Chain A
């Protein structure tokens, strides 16, 4: 690639078409890929907790399909839910990589548990990105302490990948807004105390300026949980359909300017997709560890199956896929935090690679365990079911490819 070594962004001329540029793609690899001492300490502390307290609960959480309030309280008590929040509002002020390290370690034991932290960050990101100091001071201390939970409500029955097609409306009425509509597939929607809702404030505006963002307290009159989905995986994380029937919130619940909602949502996803990539890497790592341990112990034909090259090759490929996804994720976190102009690309890349790695690694883990992998005596069938969601939510893998391709092909 062309350009001086110090340049973060290069525009490269493609072939003999001087007009076509690759834009904007980060060139120089980040320098600090070794974790800081602080990051290692926090990661190890979360790992210990995940191994000793969360892992023994994981099968039960999956079987009952109930939100693990005890695990939420544990994360709150250990300050883990405070990681994404600024120190001045009671959080730990963790950078994106540190939050992802925690999500990864929790998900290694239990994907539902990793999601509790990831969703707490997701729901709060609009406030972190565009909230006023007063709004942050109003809501962050309770969120950072885990006294309240927050959900992110963008998706609707008819607005999934096409997020700008939102129909929920927010109509100004004096110093308040009245919100009407339906949101679907909202993670933790039925247990959240606050919901960040994206609604149309100007139906006439172009698709990127129709929406605004609001914080809606779950105890607002007219707010209702319609139902909770029955899901294939992440079964302890309630995914809810939410109805807003004339829900009235004062204007100071609006996050950012009117019409800024779509932009806030997209910037939120730039920072939240690495959390899902971290969940995926954690699930893959958990499956890899289970399969490796099994291959050491399971004996067939008079020897541990790990001595057979076909098993060895599977394990090595699983490790390669997991580690590749992890390194891409960590780099993406550093790039996004450093304000890379192609943050959307990094964020989409890491979720794309990690989600696919998780699906493949967990599927292979079931294969290594054979019939035992298919029954709930071992955790890998759960991990395989949990992995699938990482290819779907916060943008399907197809949408991630769309985001990456747009970054590559866009002209300024």
Chain B
């Protein structure tokens, strides 16, 4: 089985140094980049599928020039190769441009499944995966909590999380699957994996390598940031000073009143 994982380098949320430039775009230079957290879950799922059914895993990223550094971690986790679409004209791309570019890049690849994370921690739009499936005319199986491909029959079953439980979906392959964290914790790269990753292929593609019939890039962005404001550092605080048993009751009452428990 050939699996492509959509992988986005994002500013490391743990470092917390990401900021917006005057043009409303994330300043990526100088910020430590990591693989988007949800994409790591998708990659873990892809690696497990490749281990169970054979085949290989390709990372696909549309990202600035420095991305190979970040993609190397995905390769260290066990992905076999990476495809890196990068072009100065892509800076400031909107979700629509990103969708078009990823779809065009996928047309150059052979695959049975495409896996994507629910959303990214920098943009948090959560629409690119569905858009890519639409442009490629692929079935889109979202919020996957379990993925069971049947390579012989050329079909895949997905258990989709829903607000009331699960939906069982089935589709022919190739298909695009939106992955959730329920699929399982991403692995740590082993030391051998880290060493092996240094010699794995990261193929670079520019816009000239892609067959695009729609305009893409920062110049034709369909959305732009108007304003941004950090949330209040801390909400109103209520300190309960009752003895433990009473305090527990008070906390449960508080949570119940907000329908949290």
Q: How far is the CB of B223 from chain A (nearest CB, A)?
A: 35
Q: Is B195 within 8 A of A45, CB to CB?
A: no
B192 at the A/B interface (Cβ < 8 Å)?
Answer: yes
Set of chain A residues within 8 Å of B195, measured between Cβ atoms: 38, 92
Q: Is B194 within 8 A of A42, CB to CB?
A: yes
Q: Is B188 within 8 A of A79, CB to CB?
A: no
Q: Is B192 within 8 A of A45, CB to CB?
A: no
Set of chain B residues within 8 Å of A77, measured between Cβ atoms: 190
A276 at the A/B interface (Cβ < 8 Å)?
Answer: no
Q: Is A49 within 8 A of B188, CB to CB?
A: yes
Instruction: Report which residue of B188, B191, B192, B198 has the largest number of chain A beta carbons within 10 angstroms of its beta carbon.
Output: B191
**A220–B191 CA distance with the chains assembled, in angstroms:** 34
B189 at the A/B interface (Cβ < 8 Å)?
Answer: yes
Q: Is A82 within 8 A of B192, CB to CB?
A: yes
Judged by DSSP, the binding face of B is: helix
Q: Which chain A residue lies CB-closest to B192?
A: A79
Set of chain B residues within 8 Å of A53, measured between Cβ atoms: 188
Q: How far is the CB of A94 from chain B (nearest CB, A)?
A: 8
Q: How far is the CB of B47 from chain A (nearest CB, A)?
A: 14
Q: How far is the CB of A296 from chain B (nearest CB, A)?
A: 16
Set of chain A residues within 8 Å of B194, measured between Cβ atoms: 41-42, 45
Set of chain A residues within 8 Å of B76, measured between Cβ atoms: 45
Q: Is B191 within 8 A of A82, CB to CB?
A: yes
A411 at the A/B interface (Cβ < 8 Å)?
Answer: no
**A80–B194 CA distance with the chains assembled, in angstroms:** 12
A83 at the A/B interface (Cβ < 8 Å)?
Answer: yes
**A48–B188 CA distance with the chains assembled, in angstroms:** 9
**A52–B189 CA distance with the chains assembled, in angstroms:** 13
Chain B 194-206 near chain A by CB (<8 Å), digits 1 or 0:
1100100000000
Q: Is A80 within 8 A of B188, CB to CB?
A: no
Q: How far is the CB of A240 from chain B (nearest CB, A)?
A: 29
Set of chain A residues within 8 Å of B191, measured between Cβ atoms: 42, 45-46, 78-80, 82-83, 92
Q: How far is the CB of A41 from chain B (nearest CB, A)?
A: 5
**A41–B196 CA distance with the chains assembled, in angstroms:** 12
**A79–B193 CA distance with the chains assembled, in angstroms:** 9
Q: Which of A56-93 contact B (CB under 8 A)?
A: 77-80, 82-83, 92
A-B contact count (CB 8 A): 30
Q: Please pick, from A78, A82, A83, A92, the residue contacting B188 in the complex, using a CB distance under 8 A.
A: A78
Q: Which of B164-201 contact A (CB under 8 A)?
A: 188-195, 198
Q: How far is the CB of A38 from chain B (nearest CB, A)?
A: 7
**A79–B76 CA distance with the chains assembled, in angstroms:** 13
**A38–B194 CA distance with the chains assembled, in angstroms:** 9
Chain A 323-345 near chain B by CB (<8 Å), digits 1 or 0:
00000000000000000000000
Q: How far is the CB of B68 from chain A (nearest CB, A)?
A: 13
Set of chain A residues within 8 Å of B198, measured between Cβ atoms: 38
Q: Which chain A residue lies CB-closest to B193?
A: A79
Q: Which chain B residue lies CB-closest to A53?
A: B188
Set of chain B residues within 8 Å of A80, measured between Cβ atoms: 191
Q: Which chain B residue lies CB-closest to A75?
A: B191
Chain A 16-37 near chain B by CB (<8 Å), digits 1 or 0:
0000000000000000000000
Instruction: Report which residue of A79, A82, A83 has the largest number of chain B beta carbons within 10 angstroms of its beta carbon.
Output: A79
Q: How far is the CB of B137 from chain A (nearest CB, A)?
A: 40
**A49–B194 CA distance with the chains assembled, in angstroms:** 13
Set of chain B residues within 8 Å of A38, measured between Cβ atoms: 195, 198
Q: How far is the CB of B60 from chain A (nearest CB, A)?
A: 23
Q: Please pick, from A46, A49, A52, A92, the residue contacting B192 in the complex, using a CB distance under 8 A.
A: A92
Set of chain B residues within 8 Å of A48, measured between Cβ atoms: 188
Q: How far is the CB of B184 from chain A (nearest CB, A)?
A: 16
Set of chain B residues within 8 Å of A92, measured between Cβ atoms: 191-192, 195
Q: How far is the CB of A95 from chain B (nearest CB, A)?
A: 13
Q: How far is the CB of B192 from chain A (nearest CB, A)?
A: 5
Q: List 28 A–B pairs whose Cβ atoms lie within 8 Å, in order of A's numbering.
A: A38-B195, A38-B198, A41-B194, A42-B191, A42-B194, A45-B76, A45-B189, A45-B191, A45-B194, A46-B191, A48-B188, A49-B188, A53-B188, A77-B190, A78-B188, A78-B190, A78-B191, A79-B190, A79-B191, A79-B192, A79-B193, A80-B191, A82-B191, A82-B192, A83-B191, A92-B191, A92-B192, A92-B195
Q: Which 5 A-B pairs have the closest CB atoms?
A: A79-B191, A79-B192, A79-B190, A78-B190, A41-B194
Give A contacts to B, CB under 8 Å: 38, 41-42, 45-46, 48-49, 52-53, 77-80, 82-83, 92
Give B contacts to A, CB under 8 Å: 76, 188-195, 198
Known: A49-B188, A79-B190, A83-B191. 17 other contacts (CB 8 A): A41-B194, A42-B191, A42-B194, A45-B188, A45-B189, A45-B191, A45-B194, A48-B188, A52-B188, A53-B188, A77-B190, A78-B190, A79-B191, A80-B191, A82-B192, A92-B191, A92-B195
